[in-house]
């Protein structure tokens, strides 16, 4: 790819970044609120939630949340069917795409850590990380619901 084309793509991405972030942060907030009220979810990590320990700091540093959240379904045995039956997201370690991405932290990005180290950094066996994309939130919540009932 030529340098001129790359620069043009970077400029376009930079110009639309604020609009895209506003969009995905609204989606992530709605999803985090849904998950925090779900009976099968034991913990939601999203600093824009008012009950998150880092909420005050988040709101001092930004006017909203971001596109990434984590949620815990209590065990690896519970996380597997959630990932397996989830239809919309891409199953990946990469974050920040326009697609919804889900990753199983203890089995993917942090798989080299033993159980003690995982616990020390706050990663439980059932913790899933979610990068919100541009898909419709209602579709995503419906997909989340049908995967969570598999637990």
pLDDT digits (tens, 9 = 90+) for 71-105: 999 998 999 989 888 876 555 555 555 667 788 77
Q: What is the mean pLDDT of the chain?
A: 79
More confident residue, 63 or 129: 129
Name the fold adopted by 3-148.
3.90.1150
The 3-state secondary structure of 93-132 reads: CCCCCCCCEEEEHHHCCCCCCCHHHHHHCCCCCCEEEEEC
For range 36-53, the mean pLDDT = 88
| Positive or negative: CA dihedral 89, 107, 95, 5 | negative
For range 115-135, the mean pLDDT = 83
CA–centroid distance for 94 within its chain: 11
Reported as a pLDDT band with limits 50, 70 and 90, residue 57 is: low
What is the reported pLDDT for 142? 93
């Amino acid at each position: 790819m030529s340098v001129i084309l790359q620069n043009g793509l970077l400029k376009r991405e930079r110009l639309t970044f604020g609009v895209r972030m506003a969009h995905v942060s609204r989606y992530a907030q709605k999803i985090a609120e849904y998950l925090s009220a779900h009976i099968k979810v034991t913990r939601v990590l999203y600093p824009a939630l008012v009950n998150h320990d880092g909420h005050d700091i988040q709101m001092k540093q930004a006017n909203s949340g971001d596109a990434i959240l984590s949620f815990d379904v209590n065990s690896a045995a519970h996380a597997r069917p959630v990932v397996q039956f989830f239809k919309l997201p891409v199953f990946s370690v990469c974050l920040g795409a326009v697609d919804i991405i889900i990753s199983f932290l203890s089995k993917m990005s942090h798989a080299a850590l033993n159980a003690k180290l995982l616990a020390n950094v706050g990663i439980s066996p059932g913790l899933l990380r979610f990068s919100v994309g541009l898909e419709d939130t209602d579709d995503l919540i419906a997909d989340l619901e049908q995967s969570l009932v598999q637990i």
